[in-house]
Amino acid sequence: MTTTIRPIDPGQRSTLGTIVTDQLRDHVIHGRFPPGTVLGEVDLAARFGVSRGPIREALQRLVQEGLLRREPKRGISVPQLAPADLRDVYLAREAIETAAIGVAIARGGASLVTALRSLVARMEAAADKTDWAAVADIDMAFHRRIVEASGSPRLRRLYASVLGEALAFLNMNDRHRGRPGVTADHRELAELIAAGDIEAAIAAMRRHYTSSVDRLARPDRSTEAGRPADDGAETASSTPRRTRGRRVTARTAP
């Protein structure tokens, strides 16, 4: 695997740890380090052109966020997330968002509705272009905006702690790609919030998460039968070919 890492601007050394953490997080979330990739401090430090200190700080932070896993005798690697992990992450998201959506609606505010409608329009445009990475990013931005509208710092912190794992699941799993109704679900939520219907909005949010978990976690029957899936999708528990245990071979961009 060849992964491009942006060189660090020496003028930004005062926030070096944050810069390295953000770059590594982005690579993991967007699947540039596949599950099973072992991330070594020495290799990453050489490729970032920094000392091992900021790399160690970044790796520890991403382990705390659940995006990386530390294992005895193996070091730090990108975890192979199982369906049970998916269900747990989405259980937490549903609990946080159903609490947030009720508060957000009760607080009112036309700016929230405007923002959500704009995000849905962007999601539809990205889906039309089959830009599924953009669809996933906009999906997360939509839900994050609802949590932010609750005005609760604690809900925001809780949500931030699971957001990276949720986005990583979407980018590792092809089952969200081209799903009929992916934008319709979000438009429905936006319009229910606009109507001020708390009960209906919470019910719609729960349906959205139930269908998402069912879709992303179900086994691929064609693969189980010994045939490759028609759409090339992998389940949340499948192991991408030729990636398990591989050490990162990222190259610094010229």
Residues 75 and 100 in one domain: no
Does the residue 110 lie in any domain?
yes
Question: Please, are residues 202 and 188 in contact by the beta-carbon 8 Å criterion?
Answer: no
Question: Any idea which residue has 């050394």 for tokens?
Answer: 13
Percent of the chain beyond pLDDT 70?
76
Are 59 and 148 within one domain? Answer: no
- Same-domain pairing of 138 and 212: yes
Domain check: are 14 and 67 in the same one?
Answer: yes
Q: How far apart are CA 57 and CA 55, in angstroms?
A: 5
- Are both 94 and 57 inside the same structural domain? no
pTM of the model: 0.70
pLDDT confidence of residue 178: 55
Helix then strand count (H, E) for the chain reads 10, 4
Confidence grade of residue 1 (pLDDT, cut at 50, 70, 90) = very low
Rounded CA gap, 219 and 144, in Å?
29
**Domain shared by 168 and 135, yes or no:** yes
For the four alpha carbons of 91, 94, 96 and 98, in that order, the dihedral sign comes to negative
pLDDT (tens digit, 9 = 90+) per residue, 19-66? 999 899 888 888 888 888 899 999 999 888 889 999 999 999 999 888
Closest CA to 240 of 75, 86, 78: 78
Residue 139 CB contacts under 8 Å (≥ 6 apart), including other chains = 123, 170, 176, 182, 186
**Each residue's pLDDT tens digit, 143-198:** 999 999 999 999 999 998 888 888 787 776 655 555 657 799 999 999 999 999 99
Task: Give the residue among 77, 37, 33 at the shortest CA–CA distance from 59.
Answer: 77
User: For residue 74, what is the domain's CATH number?
Assistant: 1.10.10.10
31 lies in some domain: yes
On whether residue 237 sits in a domain, the answer given is no
